[in-house]
Structure 1
Amino acid sequence: MQVVSAAEVAQYLTWQGVIDRLRHTFVNGVESPPRHHHAMYRPDGEATMLLMPAWEAAGYIGVKMVNVFPQNAEHGIPAISGLYLLSEGKHGQPLACIDGSELTRRRTAAASALAAQALANEDAETLLVVGTGKLAPMVIEAHASVRPIKRVLIWGRNPSKATEIAEEYASRFDTQVVEALPAAVAEADIVSCVTLSTQPIIKGEWLTPGTHVDLIGAFRPQMRETDALCLRRSQVFVDTYAGAKGEAGDILQAIDEGEFQFEHIQAELAEVLTGAKPGRSDKDAITLFKSVGASLEDLAAAIELWESLPKHH
């Protein structure tokens, strides 16, 4: 069995490869039971273990194990760590143990890029990234692989982190750290939010015709990045209905406020990709994609990575 490090994931998992693989997997489907969620009581507080299994009907089998330790913040260690175990489908033999954080980071950005490929206007060239965590550079790279991005605006609560990202990508794009969000949202073609916010950061009144809003951050019901007006003004799409129903804070809180209904969601990503349901209605529509992540995406990314790795015999 091969052990695959974070550096190797970054080296061998190309954006084009993983986005194409995700498209294929969303269209063809896999078996993916709901994720298992186990509370673990540790001496210094509660932690959570998540298990996310998925398998192809006659092919690969995979499971992601994720440990969530909020108390790690006090030690300067990331709160979330995990690994992905990929097995072959004929005899169930393990193939690879893959760094979970890097795989997740890249599949998450790739899923948003796949949605943007289907929903954003083809001439989208200004990207606004809201948030400066580990996912921010990923969404820049992923969106730029599917749309002709020329300008990247970066907003963050921590201006020095925003400056760091702007400098890192200054050779590839016209990058700019922004302070005034309303103006930045108004001029962006794609607004990608990657924060851990529990309060709306993006207001619906700021959105302009033709914008595509990409919401990645709020993956628990109590988190949100947008107000209800964002949803009301948009054609709303989700990665999966099941995930959105359980975890999409932006949607669930807007429903609680009486401002949105689950039935208002236009489609899940697979329906748009297969043509079962329409995507963006016209150039001036505002589209919104809310993802919370799905085990299907991890399996797709792990397969793509495995098939791209140089094999050690």
Structure 2
Amino acid sequence: MTELLDAPATAARLPYDALVRELVAVLHDSVARVPPRLVQALPGGGSLFVMPAFDAQVAITKLITFTPRNVGTKTPTIQGDVVVFDIETGQRRLVLDGPTVTARRTAAVSLLAAQWLAPNTSGPLLVVGAGAQGRAHLEAFAQWGVREVLIHSRSEASAHLLATRAREMGLHAEVVGDVDAALARCPLVVTCTPAHGVVLRALPRADAFIAAVGAFTPRMIELDPVVTQHVARTGRIVVDTRDADHEAGDLLQAGIDVASLPSLRDVDPAAPRASGPVLFKSCGWAGWDLAAARTALRIQ
């Protein structure tokens, strides 16, 4: 029997602590394979993503659409499913809600990177962008122990809704209008906007960790190139996977040699933390969706 899970049921099967552990397991799984994803441009500015991956037990494909013109409407920008097959029998095991998987596994990857790389983990956390990714990152970092959050969004109403959610979780939350001024207060930062243009222009603190997740094509950008170049000179930049070599708009538009940067797989979490700010550039990878599928199969 195939389990068809809606958004709440998918979220219930993807607790952040278990998901982070599975992300690490996939990184070190010698059998796991992730073919290149297909990104097909669609009329009207949208894209169709076909993202396969497999290990010794399961094969998955994430099939989603990304429609930027849905920003600010009631229709999600990301829609679709993650289909999970048993390799031995070929049977379809699960169908997971694609936007929920995308939001939670992306936030879990940012959380894993912060656990391994952040110079200062005390918070406050600055969340730039108050959509699905902003909410997922808020929830993931709150589970890690962050108790104070500053929220900035192009939509003030969305920012206040996310602040309300944060307060319901027992956090101290503040909506900020000047995101660059807020940057000086926060050692933990996530940018998860639609990446239509630069949202951070100020230089980060010397002990800052920035997870930039909104830009996942060469043309998209969230960080001013001056900010990215500053981190390259004074701190450290790490990408999620080698797919970022040709997808990380924030880095490519800053003239960074992305291929020379370490990926998350190269990080030794036991190594001393480097001095200076850290930028973690996340572009997405079907291996993270494979980790989500493995997590959902284990948690009933």
Does residue 1:308 correspond to 2:299, yes or no? yes
Matches within 5 A, 1:276-291: 280-282=273-275, 285-291=276-282
Which residue of structure 2 aligns with residue 55 of structure 1?
54
Provide the aligned length of Structure 1 versus Structure 2. 293
Root-mean-square deviation (CA, aligned residues, Å) is 2.1
Which residue of structure 1 aligns with residue 29 of structure 2?
28
- Alpha-carbon distance in 2 for matches of 1:289, 1:216: 8
CA offset digits 1:247-291 (Å, max 9, x no partner) = 111011111xxxx322552x100111577xx67313xx2001000
CA offset digits 1:191-222 (Å, max 9, x no partner) = 1001012322112x431111001101011211
- Alpha-carbon distance in 1 for matches of 2:174, 2:101: 28
Which residue of structure 2 aligns with residue 298 of structure 1?
289
Cα distance, 1:298–1:168 mapped onto 2, change above 3 Å: same
Cα distance, 1:129–1:74 mapped onto 2, change above 3 Å: closer
Which residue of structure 2 aligns with residue 133 of structure 1?
131
Of residues 79, 84, 104, the one that matches 1:86 is: 84
Cα distance, 1:82–1:141 mapped onto 2, change above 3 Å: same
% identity of equivalent residues: 30
In the alignment, is the contact (CA less than 8 A) between 1:63 and 1:85 conserved in 2? yes
In the alignment, is the contact (CA less than 8 A) between 1:37 and 1:50 conserved in 2? yes
Which residue of structure 1 aligns with residue 40 of structure 2?
38
- Unpaired runs of 5+ residues, structure 1, are none
TM-score normalised by length of structure 2: 0.90
Which residue of structure 2 aligns with residue 219 of structure 1?
216
Shift of residue 17 of structure 1? 0.6
Which residue of structure 2 aligns with residue 100 of structure 1?
98
Amino acid in structure 1 at the alignment position of 2:167: A
Matches within 5 A, 1:1-313: 1-29=2-30, 30-39=32-41, 45=44, 47-56=46-55, 58-69=56-67, 76-121=74-119, 123-146=121-144, 148-171=145-168, 172-203=170-201, 205-234=202-231, 235-241=236-242, 243-255=243-255, 260-263=256-259, 265=261, 267-273=262-268, 280-282=273-275, 285-309=276-300
Alignment partner of 2:163: what SS?
helix
Shift of residue 49 of structure 1? 2.5
After superposing on structure 2, the runs of 4+ consecutive aligned residues of structure 1 that deviate more than 4 Å are 69-76
Shift of residue 153 of structure 1? 0.2
Shift of residue 47 of structure 1? 4.9
Shift of residue 308 of structure 1? 0.3
In the alignment, is the contact (CA less than 8 A) between 2:128 and 2:191 conserved in 1? yes
